[in-house]
Amino acid sequence: MQNKILRIATRKSPLALKQTEYVEKKLLSLYPYLKTKLVPIVTHGDNILNKSLSKIGGKGLFIKELEIALLDNKADIAIHSMKDLPVRITKELCLASICKRGSALDTLVSNQYKSINHLPKGAVIGTSSLRRQCQLITYRPDLVISPLRGNVETRIAKLDEGKYDAIILAAEGLNRLGLKHRITQIIPPELLLPSCGQGAIGIQSRLNDKKVLFFLSRLNHINTFIEINAERAFCKKLEAGCQIPIGSYAVLRKNKIWLRGLVGSPNGDVILKGERIGSFNTAQKMGHSLANELLYYGANQILKNVYIQKPNL
């Protein structure tokens, strides 16, 4: 690829550009002669900020235009937050690499309160994530959950304007933007199980572009890939989108993988949890097994109830 410019599709948000810069630097450190060109794209999800993802079609809204750029040969690779990438990928494309994961956890950001436990009764918490909302309501039913969309800086600005007592943001997003100092509390997964793939960057490419796939293979972090493979297997078996609160979090240590999964009702009335511990080479089977267990114990009914009442998109 000495004579070819590698075209990199990315969203225009500050966090997306930071993630793309990270991948670009990794590529150039491995292939100093490589030339790159950014292809910034505004997605449909970026344009609709007054509705929650569950009401406008789900996380796929943040990647559709990037995938079209790949399919139309206007870009060679696309950079995604793994938590935004649907578990079912367009057949002409593939997930070529997953970079080493940062923190997968959520954080509390507040100007007054040190932790979720320190929040007073009736405190207003900003988040539009059903996963976060469901778990927060269960843990602190006295809190008021208020919708919050926009990029990270916009959300923090609304907090600073006094519209919320606290907001929930992903730790790694704050780390990448140099906003680690705004973190008030790293929320343990026992209280708030993360989203599938949270904290990791995925690189998508065309399935038949073998040269590009070869280049990208050296960026793949095998431990992260195994962890997220388990998480995505869990979510894929459930076949649920953003209309259902779902969390999954896998940790690989010394060839053993610990996978935790959660399915809840949107109002927090029901939360089903489970876990698996096993060999790293059974990651996908563990994800399927855990999903089947939760489906058996009530997740299937939660899914049916939500999709029967599914709002018009």
- Asked whether the domain spanning 222-313 has the same topology as the one spanning 1-99+200-220, the reply is no
Instruction: Out of 46, 72, 76, 84, pick the active-site residue.
Output: 84
CA 67 – CA 74 distance, rounded (Å): 10
Q: Which CATH number fits domain 106-186: 3.40.950.10, 3.40.50.720, 3.40.190.10, 3.40.120.10?
A: 3.40.190.10
Identify the pLDDT of residue 313.
41
Q: Are 133 and 145 in contact (CB under 8 A)?
A: yes
Q: Are 157 and 126 in contact (CB under 8 A)?
A: no
What's this model's pTM, rounded to 2 decimal places? 0.90
- Domain spans, the chain: 1-99+200-220, 106-186, 222-313
pLDDT value at 57 more than 80: no
Q: Which CATH class is domain 1-99+200-220?
A: alpha beta
Identify the pLDDT of residue 308.
65
Q: Are 170 and 106 in contact (CB under 8 A)?
A: yes
Tell me yes or no: is domain 222-313 CATH 3.40.1350.10. no
Identify the pLDDT of residue 231.
97
Please indicate whether residue 84 is annotated as part of the active site: yes
Closest alpha carbon to 292 in 280, 269, 276, 277 = 276
Confidence label for 309 from pLDDT (cuts 50, 70 and 90): low
CA 133 – CA 115 distance, rounded (Å): 16
pLDDT value at 2 more than 70: no
The string of pLDDT tens digits covering residues 241-273 is 667 899 999 999 999 999 999 999 888 889 999
